[in-house]
Amino acid sequence: MTGLAQLTRHRLFWPIVALVVLLLASTLKSHTFLEITVRDGHLYGAPIDIVRRSSITLLVALGMTLVIATRGIDLSVGAVMAIAGAVTLTQIASSPDPGAISTVALAMLTGLAVCLAIGVFNGFLVAVLGIQPIIATLVIMTAGRGIAMLITGGQITTVTSAPYKTLASGYWLGLPVAALIAGFFFAAVAFVTRRTALGVLIESVGINPTASRLAGVRARTIIWTVYVLCALFACIAGFLQSSNIMAADSNNAGLFIELDAILAVVIGGTSLAGGKFSLTGTLVGVLVLTTLTLSITVLGIPVNAVSLFKALVVIVVCLLQSPVVQHKLRARRRQAAPVPVEVPA
Amino acid sequence: MATDEITVKAAGKRPEPRLTGSVGRRRPTLDRRYLPVLGTLVVLALMLIIGGARYENFLTGRVMANLLINNSFLIVLAVGMTFVILTGGIDLSVGAVVALSTCLSAWMFLHGWPAYVTIPAAVLVGTLIGWVIGVMVHVFEIQPFIATLAAMFLARGLCYVIAPESIPITDPTIVKLSETRWGTDNGLVITPSGLIALAVVVIAFVTLHYTRFGRTVYAIGGSEQSARLMGLPVARTKVLVYVISGTCAGLGGLLFAIFARSGYSLTGVGMELDAIAAVVIGGTLLTGGSGFVLGSVLGVLVLGLIQTIITFEGTLSSWWTKIVIGALLLIFVILQRLLIVRRR
Amino acid sequence: MTVPTPSPIVQMSGISIAFPGVKALDGVDFRLFPGEVHALMGENGAGKSTLIKALTGVYGIDSGRIVVGGVEQVFSGPAAAQAAGVSTVYQEVNLTDNLSVAENVMLGHEVRRFGLVDWRATRKAARTYLEALNLDIDPRSSLSSHSLAVQQLVAISRAMVVDAQVLILDEPTSSLDSDEVARLFDVIRTLRERGVAILFVSHFLDQVYAISDRITVLRNGALVGEYRPAELPRVELVGKMIGRALEVLTELEGSTERVVVDRSGTPLLQAIGVGRRGSIEPFDLDVYPGEIVGLAGLLGSGRTELARLLYGADHADTGETIVGGVSTKLRNPRAGLSRSIAFSSESRKTEGIIGDLTVRENIVLGLQAERGWLRRVPKKKADEVVSHYIEALGVRPANPDAIAGNLSGGNQQKVLLARWLATAPKLLILDEPTRGIDVGAKAEIQKLVADLAAQGMSVVFISAELDEVLRLSHRIAVLRDRRKVAELVNSDDVTTDVVVDLIASGGTSA
């Protein structure tokens, strides 16, 4: 088999092609698209913007990747983001000194605690009660925004707090803080899953939970853990999002983020059926989705059509990755082999 | 283990030549499959009793009629969703398809198309999207979750393109449909939308229980592998359930257009979740193969009643609706889970 | 025996199928006559399933011809094959257990009136088909309320609905006990008398000889030959299947000299009144170091349940387990693992192999689970362990990075054994380690078990084949109806007949 053929079979080939095409098209339209300039000691430019805007989705998608690898799914992440914002900002707003770092830290800790509790709850439903993940997390997805509104009293809570604003709008070493936070957690998860045995144990539980349990793997604990982690990352994403607008908007915070995150994971080549996962793939998936949104404005496509455009890209990438098309592409190069229909021997 | 029945005999005296089934394990008279639906019925009854006791004018024909009328589009959606979920799939696109259908009809009326073209078109656009999903799921083996998600973005995107702003509908046929009411003076009325919803329920019931297609839907939900090896038309059926769901969403969109008399691209955001919640509360298992379309109707009525009660209560804020629905979902899911565990 | 009519109903000639990297079938001829039971024999990977799937249209063929009833056919799938009168009943009953018996029999063939299903008539028709097989069950009852054996017969009833001229039974007996098998055979004979051509696949030689009129042997995707059972002694059949001399088997047959196990010290494991409601009644069992304890009993007698309690795969309601002199509660598999107990389940696919992981990851998994997720097994150690066991057990292909799910049954079993041996267990519980694997691999595994015990490891050995249990065990516990009914020390006086009597009588020497 030729090198090219092998390359096109790589699961990240088409997503990366999509990313490159989007970047190229944008650059052709606006020649300065890929330029990075330094202003006030900060880096500016579309690439930086892409990275900064990716941070929220990346955080959510990170947890989602782990959950999906265990055959699960977490629909509650958007609601968790809303709750994180609601809890934290309500506490900051009600404190006498919203600008103090200690106030912000304490409020964020409260937010974290609440979100962790939700993660524990989701994990309990899935790992202990054995409820299907999609429906177990639908509970918080439905109730969560109600709870967030309950906390904020149905208002959009706004605050003025310099330390909290830094999370989304600040720069450190010339780079956006939000991107650094997301990058840090990405690196941490990548390091932990590949340097310890967590990654392979998650995969083994995702591929065959019963066999994993009998092999002595703490399947239940691992499943529980990934839901807690997912809620944790959603919580941090919620901090970034609320810091971005300096308000807790229970209705719109993280709306549809679960869909974007799941899409990113799938585009990145992790199967919804669980098992093998790729964090790099998820990163590529997130970048594709963010670049897509940004390119649309650059390319002069009406903002209204964002969703349409997204649908087309998703459909094309998913079609190209689908087993049937992959097989056809391969068959064109080689002698046709019979399609093995899945029938257990 | 299921085999011990015969083992027992084998080890004891020689059994008779005729094989009988599990005689020793007579099933209870009530079929377990009906239990979840009965649970929903009980909840519905309790809510009616509580509502009736707390508020005057609650158990009136007007309130009950409104419950059906105001939720007619959701009933149609839930019916379509039931087909998909029975096969073990899921359809996230229905909310967006409702929006597309309303936007399309508003746009067509705006551009002078007659009702006899627009109304079928509004329904068929759903059919078309359902077919596209079916092909993606079946031919290209894309997971239903992702395929319907893509269709959701597609439909929503088309909405923004054809109706960036709300378009009012002034077509006489739609106006007439939305204003017609048949019924008695005491408020027990029915609208064309309500009738359509009821008709859809009846057709769905007959289809699921009295056609080979319907039984194949259940068989696929039980085990797709087996259904295929039994020689059932799995491919056709799987595409068809998405076509049905899409068509129901298109019809739901039409009903919504009649209800709202305008087309707006943000219509029906999250409506797919209401439909799924209704189906689950109505006792259908998300793993497929078990559930009833009438259960889904009860599920919609439960959701509607929550809304009604909160309206009647007056002092309760609207977000309680979400919290209560979430709590109900939780209770039902856990109950279903316990039922399954006990069956094993 | 009916005399076959001269023209075959199925004639397959020169069938070839290639999968990426493998020639699954290579110019195979096969014929099937009306009114005969034709056994298809071969080791795992010989091409039996592929041939069946070629016939029923699940796989397309690369070359060759398939003629059914005088017409050349290329079926697009099971549905098309059924329409032409070729029905298949698979090993794992392929029905849907969320529906009733009647529906399962009649699905797709319901009686209709005015386009709608007439349930009364449909149920009546179902009953007729069931009764034709002497099956008196309520068609309204849910399929899941019946035993596997009944479900299998329901599947055959379904095959009859399409008026099958050809009935393919793919390992129909692998999960049935002997009595159920007898019943199934009655049904098969009835069908044979009606002129149905039956293709029968089984791993059990006795059954093949009991029922078949003709035997076709495949090896490595090629045809070895077609024989009459009367003209083919068993030894020769096995020889043709494995294609080599029977050294391995005979070697093991010879090694029956019995090592006396020292039972004076403390037992490695002592179960006192351990039981679990609805699973197995309280039992006592001692296992001494270096001892192989065989569990004998029919399917469903509780032998698997007993083993699971010893490991902690299920937790016991009552009783006490003493491991190495210390009383312990085995609440979950980890508890067993941490006390140096290993348990290899009978369901290799669903409870053993992690299909998408590599051989290497599968072997290290037990060791890793023991260490927890935080402390990864060092690469060097993992490499050592993996290459050692691949070599010692002869895993093929000897590639640690091969995907475990792609290996043959016997090799998957070896990978599982490697996983457990890597954890250095003191007690190894093997539930049906030799089921569904080829004769050669079977002999190797038996030999391995004997060697391990000789080195001091205790083994609890479960097998549906009494011969195997008797050959290997030092002591035998007999189970019946989810109860341990007897225990005996193995000796030359203990024959299969003795054990069968104990199982039948319910045991007196407990």
> Buried b vs exposed e over B160-173: b needs ≥16 C-beta within 10 Å?
bbbbeeebebebee
Residue B107 maps to a domain: yes
DSSP A127-184: IIS---HHHHHHHHHHHHHHHHHHHHTTS-EE---HHHHHHHH-EETTEEHHHHHHHH
**Residue B245, amino acid:** S
- The length of chain B in residues reads 344
In this structure, how many other beta carbons lie within 10 angstroms of the beta carbon of residue C265? 9
How far A185 CA sits from the closest chain C CA (Å)?
18
- Tell me if A32 is assigned to some domain: no
- B25: chain C residues, CB-CB within 8 Å: 145
Question: CB–CB of B90 and A150 under 8 A?
Answer: no
Q: Sign (positive/negative) of CA torsion C99, C103, C109, C110?
A: negative
Among the partner-chain residues A201, A217, A340, the one whose CB lies closest to the CB of C19 is A340
What is the structure's pLDDT at A294?
85
In a domain, A240, yes or no: yes
Angle between helices C148-161 and C119-132 (to 10 degrees): 110
Peptide bond into B168 cis (omega under 30): no
Q: What is the mean pLDDT of chain A?
A: 87
Contact A125, A139 (CB under 8 A): yes
Beta carbons within 10 angstroms of residue A94's beta carbon = 12
Of A138, A150, A304, the CB nearest to B161: A304
Query: How far away is chain A from the Cα of C403, in angstroms, using its nearest Cα?
Result: 12
- Residue A137 located in a structural domain: yes
Verify whether the Cβ–Cβ distance B136 to A315 is below 8 Å.
yes
Considering the domain boundaries, does residue A148 fall inside one? Answer: yes
- Range 291-350 of C in CB contact (< 8 A) with B: 298-301
Contact state of A344 with C92 under an 8 Å Cβ cutoff: yes
Question: How far apart are the two ends of chain C, measured CA to CA in Å?
Answer: 45
Amino acid letter, C253: E
The predicted structure's pLDDT at residue B8: 33
Distances in Å between the Cα of C53 and the Cα atoms of A237, C108, C262 are 51, 21, 52
Neighbours of chain B (3+ CB pairs under 8 A): A, C
Residues of C in contact with A195 (CB under 8 A): 376
State whether residue C468 is helix, strand or coil: helix
The answer to whether the Cβ–Cβ distance between B277 and A142 falls below 8 Å is yes
pLDDT at B214: 95
Whether the CB of B156 is below 8 Å from some CB of chain A: the reply is yes
In a domain, A310, yes or no: yes
Question: Does residue A41 surpass a pLDDT of 80?
Answer: no
pLDDT digits (tens, 9 = 90+) for B292-338: 999 999 999 999 999 888 888 877 777 888 898 899 889 888 887 88
Instruction: Name the residue among A207, A338, A343 with its Cβ closest to that of C355.
Output: A207
Residues 6+ apart with CB under 8 A from A82: A144, A145, A148, A238, A248, A249, A250, A251, A253, A254
Can you tell me the distance from the alpha carbon of A264 to that of A285, in angstroms, rounded to the nearest whole number? Answer: 4
Instruction: Give A197→chain B minimum CA distance, Å.
Output: 29
In a domain, B317, yes or no: yes
Residue B324 lies in a domain: yes
Chain C adjacent subunits, 3+ CB pairs under 8 A: A, B
The DSSP bridge pattern shows strands C197-201 and C37-41 to be parallel
Overall number of domains in chain B:
1
* Helix/strand/coil for B292: coil
Helix (H) or strand (E) holding C343: strand C341-344
Is B216–C107 a contact, with Cβ atoms under 8 angstroms apart? yes
**Which sign does the torsion angle of CA C183, C186, C191, C194 carry?**
negative
Domains of chain C: residue spans and CATH: 10-246 (3.40.50.300), 247-340+425-510 (3.40.50.300), 350-424 (no CATH)
- How far is Cα B246 from Cα B255, in angstroms, rounded to an integer? 14
Q: d(Cα A274, Cα C258) in Å, to the nearest integer?
A: 49
Q: Which of residues 283-322 of B touch A (CB under 8 A)?
A: 286-287, 317-322
Q: Which residues of C touch B226 (CB under 8 A)?
A: 94-96
What secondary structure letter does DSSP report for B174? H
Query: Beta partners for B344?
Result: none
| Nearest chain A CA: its distance from C176 CA (Å) | 18
For residue C454, the surrounding DSSP H or E stretch is helix C439-454
Which residues on B lie below 8 Å from A129 (Cβ)? 334, 337
* pLDDT higher than 50, residue A102: yes
Would you tell me which residues 158-217 of chain B have a C-beta closer than 8 angstroms to some C-beta of chain C? 206, 209-212, 215-216
Is the Cβ–Cβ distance between B79 and B200 less than 8 Å? yes
Q: Helix C439-454 vs helix C234-242: angle between axes, to the nearest 10 degrees?
A: 90
Touching check for A343 and chain B: CB below 8 Å? yes
CA atoms of B271 and B326, how far apart (whole Å) = 15
CA distance C474 to C472: 7
Any C CB within 8 A of B245 CB: no
CB atoms C481 and B7 under 8 Å: yes
Query: Given this model, what pLDDT does residue C508 score?
Result: 53
pLDDT for position B30: 56
The list of chain B residues with pLDDT below 70 reads 1-31, 340-344
- For C253, residues 6+ apart whose C-beta sits below 8 A from its C-beta are C471
Residue A77, domain CATH: 1.10.3470
Q: What is the pLDDT of residue B225?
A: 85
- Enumerate long-range contacts of A12-17, CB under 8 Å, 24 or more apart: A12/A268, A12/A269, A12/A278, A12/A280, A12/A281, A12/A284, A14/A317, A14/A320, A14/A321, A15/A267, A15/A268, A15/A269, A15/A281, A15/A284, A15/A285, A15/A288, A15/A317, A16/A284
**Nearest Cα residue to C500 out of C208, C177, C149:** C177
Structure tokens at C7: 């023209």
Rounded Cα gap, residues B197 and B195, in angstroms: 5
C358 contact A CB<8A: no
For C469-483, b/e burial (b = at least 16 CB within 10 A) is bbbbbbbbbbbbbbb
Tell me the chain C residues in contact with residue B18 when contact means C-beta distances shorter than 8 Å: 134, 136
pLDDT in tens for each of the 510 residues of chain C? 445 456 889 999 999 988 765 677 889 999 999 999 999 988 766 788 889 988 988 888 888 999 998 888 888 888 888 888 898 888 767 888 889 999 999 988 899 888 899 999 999 999 999 988 878 888 988 888 887 778 888 888 888 887 889 999 988 876 677 777 888 888 899 889 989 999 998 877 778 888 999 999 988 788 999 999 998 887 788 778 766 544 555 555 544 455 667 777 888 999 999 999 878 899 999 999 999 999 988 766 888 899 999 999 988 889 999 998 888 888 889 889 889 999 998 888 888 999 889 999 999 999 999 888 888 889 999 999 999 999 888 887 888 998 888 787 778 888 999 999 999 999 999 998 887 676 777 788 888 899 899 888 999 999 877 888 888 899 999 988 788 998 988 888 887 778 878 877 776 543
Cα–Cα separations (whole angstroms), residue C391 to C190, C418, C445: 50, 10, 14
**Strands in chain A per DSSP E:** 37-39, 42-44, 157-158, 171-172, 175-176, 247-248
Determine the residue among A307, A321, A327 to mutate to test chain B binding: the one whose Cβ has the most chain B Cβ atoms within 10 Å: A307
Domain containing B197: what range? Answer: 34-50+61-343
Domain count, chain A: 1
Residue B76: CATH number of its domain: 1.10.3470
| Residue A133 is assigned to a structural domain of this protein | yes
Structural domain contains residue B20: no
- Is C165 in contact with C9 (CB distance < 8 Å)? yes
B116 contacts B282 by C-beta, under 8 angstroms:
no
Classify residue A128: in a domain, yes or no: yes
- Confidence class for position A331, pLDDT limits 50, 70, 90: low
Chains in touch with A (≥3 Cβ pairs < 8 A):
B, C
Residue B318 lies inside a defined structural domain of this protein: yes
> How many Cβ atoms from other residues are within 10 Å of residue A131's Cβ?
23
Confidence class for position A127, pLDDT limits 50, 70, 90: very high
Say if C365 is an interface residue toward chain A (CB within 8 Å): yes
Tokens representing C449? 């078990």
Enumerate residues 53 to 92 of chain C having a beta carbon within 8 A of any beta carbon in chain B.
Answer: 77-79, 81-83, 88, 90
pLDDT tops 50 at residue A336: no
User: Which residues of chain A approach chain C closer than 8 Å at the C-beta?
Assistant: 195-198, 200-201, 203-204, 207-208, 210-218, 222, 275-276, 337-341, 343-345
Interface check for C288 against chain A (CB to CB < 8 A): the answer is no
Does residue A68 surpass a pLDDT of 80?
yes
Distance between CA atoms of residues A76 and A227, nearest Å:
10
Q: Is residue B8, in this structure, part of any structural domain at all? A: no
Distance CA C352, CA C417 (A): 10
| B-C contacts at Cβ under 8 angstroms | 148
Q: What residues in C contact A203, CB-CB < 8 Å?
A: 354, 356-357
The domain of A186 spans: 51-323
Nearest to B6 among C83, C117, C149 (CB): C149
DSSP B60: S
